[in-house]
Amino acid sequence: MKIAVGCDHAGFPLKNVVIEAVKAAGHEVIDVGTFSADAVDFPDFTKKVGEEIQGGEAGRGILICGSGIGACIAANKMKGIYASICHDTYSAAQGVMHDAMNVLCMGGRVIGPELVKVIVPAFLNARYLGDDEGGERLARRVEKIRKMEEDHS
């Protein structure tokens, strides 16, 4: 799977760790920037990650800003993007498995490289269970989220 990775200046110190973790998990990286520690605005890179997913070029995305909060809020404004901040492996996997999360957001000023190395594969190795037999409960809930998105677009 192709994974779009983006960050702002506060997330930049962790970006290469994220990229290496994505590659180690057997996926291809689409690096949308930023490419230096110079100050930039996180919504610009959030938009690029979201557009890669919306356009079908990437299956999932990873965003890193200072806290993860701003990138998460911005990502969730984009149609078809289901983002969450995850600073633990349980949430990173559970968000995909139960809620069809397709963008992982992390805070570059909150977590360090060793945690990134376990969170990223937890996110990437998880699969949405709502399509499985017995996943009707999960699918029903995700469909309600999608309907909310349609009703308020």
3-state secondary structure at position 27: coil
What is the arrangement of strands in the sheet containing 103-107, beginning at the earlier edge strand?
28-31, 2-7, 60-65, 103-107, 83-85
Q: Please indicate, yes or no, if residue 148 is contained in any of the structural domains.
A: no
Q: Please indicate, yes or no, if residue 149 is contained in any of the structural domains.
A: no
Query: What token pair was written down for 16?
Result: 């290469």
**CATH code for position 71:** 3.40.1400.10
Q: Please indicate, yes or no, if residue 96 is contained in any of the structural domains.
A: yes
Burial 59-93 (b: 16+ CB within 10 A, else e): ebbbbbbbbbebbbbbbbebeebbbbbbbebebbb
The region of weakest confidence among 24-28, 43-47, 149-153 is: 149-153
Q: Please indicate, yes or no, if residue 137 is contained in any of the structural domains.
A: no
Is the predicted pLDDT of residue 13 greater than 80, yes or no?
yes
Q: Please indicate, yes or no, if residue 28 is contained in any of the structural domains.
A: yes
Element (H, E) at 63: strand 60-65
The 10 Å Cβ neighbour count of residue 50 is 27
| The CA-based dihedral angle spanning residues 63, 64, 67, 72, taken in that order and rounded to the nearest 10 degrees | -10
Which of the residues are catalytic?
A: 65, 98
Give the pLDDT of residue 79: 96
Q: Please indicate, yes or no, if residue 145 is contained in any of the structural domains.
A: no
Q: For the whole prediction, is pTM greater than 0.85?
A: yes
Domain count along the chain: 1
Q: Please indicate, yes or no, if residue 146 is contained in any of the structural domains.
A: no
Burial 119-152 (b: 16+ CB within 10 A, else e): bbbbbbebebbbeeeeeeebeeebeeeeeeeeee
Is the predicted pLDDT of residue 134 greater than 90, yes or no?
no
Q: Please indicate, yes or no, if residue 29 is contained in any of the structural domains.
A: yes
Residue-wise pLDDT for 78-99, tens only, equals 999 999 999 999 999 999 999 9
Range of the domain at 24: 2-127
Question: Mean per-residue pLDDT for 107-129?
Answer: 97
Residue 31: DSSP 8-state: E
- On average, the pLDDT of the chain sits at 96
Question: Mean per-residue pLDDT for 64-83?
Answer: 98
